[in-house]
Amino acid sequence: MSAESGNLGAARSSAMLRELHAALRGGLKGAAGNVVLPDTSVGGMDAQALLRPDSLRKSLAALGAAYADPDPRALGSIWSAWYFGMLTAPALAACLRLDAPPSLDLPDVWFGLAEKGHVCAVGFRRSDPALAALSVAERLSAFVGGHLQAVIEALAEHTGLSRNVLWGNAAGHWIWCVRALREGGAGPELAEAASFMERPSLICGAANPLRGRIQMIGVEGNEIARRRTCCLRYLLPGVPTCGAVCPLPASVCSRAA
């Protein structure tokens, strides 16, 4: 690669980063600090490499070092929560707000890795001209049926964790973004993100795996997003329970902890 083409690529990456940060406005603004230029941290890799069995094994082992005899399913659940927490806000903001969103294909999404094994930053390598021509619903369908599906399949295969648990974790972060959009006063974008969770199917015709994962209930005057499936985090010693968000009785989680 010539110096000129390298400089051009760097300029495009910086411009895309600025656009992403601008898209993370309102209630999503707090997520902007996690979105960086790819390859700016030691130990980072693209999602395709990160989801390979050897990489997952190392990452989960580092995460599990903080616990005595950790349940691999609970580790996988916690690891996925970090992953979805880093990725969902910028991915949704890009699909909802950008004319030329970044590619969300696994090789094009980069993650920084903390010493403790979880992801700690996210970056995007290139824009995707194909996404620019799609509707918001088509973009979101491609994200769910492509990237998220691949992550959940890899983690389920590696840890034995139920796909229902993993999709519940993904839906939990999605609903967080919906609430952040509401707090930020978003208009059509809020309706698009919220209604997508209850679509019966993706644009491709496959069943929508996010549908029905979250139930909105009233608890002591507050609206709570209760999961349909427990995330199993309570199986790790010292990890606090999810309170009213969890579908299990508090006595079960407390007894296990």
Ranges assigned E (strand) in the chain: 45-46, 109-113, 119-124, 214-219, 222-227
State the pLDDT at residue 42: 64
* Residues 246 and 77 sit within 8 Å (Cβ to Cβ): no
Q: How many Å apart are CA 168 and CA 229, to the nearest integer?
A: 6
Query: Phi and psi (nearest 5°) for 100?
Result: -125, 80
State the pLDDT at residue 6: 43
Convert the pLDDT of each residue in 155-191 to its tens digit.
999 999 999 999 999 999 999 999 999 887 878 888 9
How large is the average pLDDT for residues 224-248?
Answer: 87
State the pLDDT at residue 56: 97
**Radius of gyration of the chain from its Cα atoms, rounded to whole angstroms:** 18
Question: 257 or 250, which is more confident?
Answer: 250
Q: Flag whether pLDDT at 121 surpasses 90.
A: yes
Q: Flag whether pLDDT at 108 surpasses 60.
A: yes
Convert the pLDDT of each residue in 32-61 to its tens digit.
999 999 976 667 999 999 999 999 999 999
Convert the pLDDT of each residue in 58-67 to its tens digit.
999 999 999 9
Tell me what the pLDDT averaged over the chain comes to. Answer: 90
In eight-state DSSP terms, residue 239 is P
State the pLDDT at residue 154: 97
**Assigned token pair, 257:** 């902890």
State the pLDDT at residue 11: 67
Instruction: Report which residue type is found at 9.
Output: G
State the pLDDT at residue 96: 95
Q: Flag whether pLDDT at 139 surpasses 60.
A: yes
Number of residues that this document lists for the chain: 257
* pTM score: 0.92
Q: Flag whether pLDDT at 8 surpasses 90.
A: no
Q: Flag whether pLDDT at 239 surpasses 90.
A: no
* Residues 115 and 93 sit within 8 Å (Cβ to Cβ): no
